[in-house]
Homo-oligomer: A and B are copies of this chain.
Amino acid sequence: MNKLTDKDIKKVYWRNLFGLQWGWNYERMQGLGYSWVIMPALKRLYKDDKEQMKTALKTQLGFFNTSQPMSHLIIGADMGIEEKTGMSDPEAIVGLKTGLMGPFAGVGDTIFLAIYRAIVFSIASYMALSGSALGLLLPIIAGAAILWVRYKFTWIGYQQGTKLATEFAGRMKILTEGASILGLTVVGALIPSVINYSLDLKYQMGKVTLNIDDMLNQILPSLVPLAIVMFSYWLLGKKKMNSTRLIFVLIALGMVLGNLKRIFGM
Contact = CB atoms under 8 A, between A and B. Distances in A.
Contacts of A219: 123, 138
Contacts of A126: 218
Interface stretch (A48-56, A63-71, A91-99, A127-135): A127-135
The binding surface of chain A is classed by DSSP as: helix
A215 interface: yes
B210 A130 contact: no
Contacts of A208: 131-132
B123 A210 contact: no
Contacts of A127: 215, 218
A130 B209 CA distance: 12
A210 B138 CA distance: 16
A215 B131 CA distance: 11
B130 A218 contact: yes
Contacts of A210: 132, 134
A210 B127 CA distance: 12
Residue from A126, A131, A134, A208 having most chain B Cβ neighbours under 10 A: A134
Contact of A132 (B130, B135, B215): B215
Nearest to A131: B208
Contacts of A123: 218-219
A214 to B, nearest CB: 8
Interface in A69-90: none
Interface in A103-144: 123, 126-127, 130-132, 134-135, 138
A122 to B, nearest CB: 11
Contacts of A215: 127, 132, 134-135
15 contacts: A123-B218, A123-B219, A126-B218, A127-B215, A127-B218, A130-B218, A131-B208, A132-B208, A132-B210, A132-B215, A134-B210, A134-B215, A135-B215, A135-B218, A138-B219
Cβ-closest 9 pairs across A and B: A127-B218, A123-B219, A126-B218, A134-B215, A132-B215, A123-B218, A127-B215, A131-B208, A132-B210
Interface of A: 123, 126-127, 130-132, 134-135, 138, 208, 210, 215, 218-219
